[in-house]
């Protein structure tokens, strides 16, 4: 399944200087067909009532699945999110850690679909998400970007 063998340290380094590192998301474990990332809920990631913000849950889900998807394509390709759905099932209070595990539902040539489960420290399901990714050729994406900038 994995086409790129990036270590957890490399994945975390790759996400430096982005929203991922700003929020404190860190890749924590990887298996034969899954990738995990963790987030400790703090003032950067909670809503005013002191619980994990639903948008941050979706961001965590998209982060772990997108990087997993990226590791499942050859070097000539990238993945980009096309749709995310997240059902928030249980609140996570400030100070607690949530773990997101992404597993593939489908790894196609042009589309990937990932299931992401977010669990609290007691292993209770807090959020269930699904992310669809488009697999795109790097060269095609770069060319489209150049054409857009020329307009």
Which of 62, 83, 147, 150 is catalytic? The answer is: 62
User: Mean pLDDT per 10-residue run, the chain (151 residues)?
Assistant: 96 96 97 98 97 98 98 96 98 98 98 98 98 94 69 66
Q: Which pLDDT score is estimated for 117?
A: 98
* 56 CB-near residues (< 8 Å, 6+ apart): 23, 39, 45, 46
Q: Which pLDDT score is estimated for 51?
A: 97
Burial 22-34 (b: 16+ CB within 10 A, else e): ebebbbbebeeeb
Is 94 buried (19+), middle (13-18) or exposed (0-12) by CB count in 10 A? middle
Q: Which pLDDT score is estimated for 102?
A: 99
Domains by residue range for the chain, with CATH: 8-150 (3.10.129.10)
Q: Which pLDDT score is estimated for 141?
A: 72
| H or E segment and range at residue 118 | strand 111-119
Cα angle, residue 7 at apex, residues 113 and 46 outer, rounded to 5°: 65
Q: Is 83 a catalytic residue?
A: no
Q: Which pLDDT score is estimated for 139?
A: 87
């Amino acid at each position: 399944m994995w086409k790129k063998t990036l270590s957890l340290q490399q994945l975390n380094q790759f996400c430096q200087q982005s929203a991922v590192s700003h929020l404190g998301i860190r890749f924590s474990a990887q298996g034969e067909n899954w990738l995990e990332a963790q987030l400790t809920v703090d003032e950067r990631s909670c809503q005013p009532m002191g619980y994990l913000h639903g948008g941050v849950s979706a961001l965590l889900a998209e982060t772990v699945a997108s990087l997993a998807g990226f590791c499942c394509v050859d070097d000539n390709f990238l993945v980009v999110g096309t749709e995310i759905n997240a059902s928030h099932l249980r609140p996570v209070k400030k100070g607690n850690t949530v773990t997101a595990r992404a597993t593939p539902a489908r790894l196609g040539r042009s589309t990937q679909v990932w299931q992401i489960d977010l669990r609290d420290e007691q292993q209770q399901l807090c959020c269930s998400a699904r992310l669809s990714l488009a697999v795109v050729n790097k060269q095609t994406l770069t060319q489209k970007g150049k054409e857009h900038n020329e307009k």
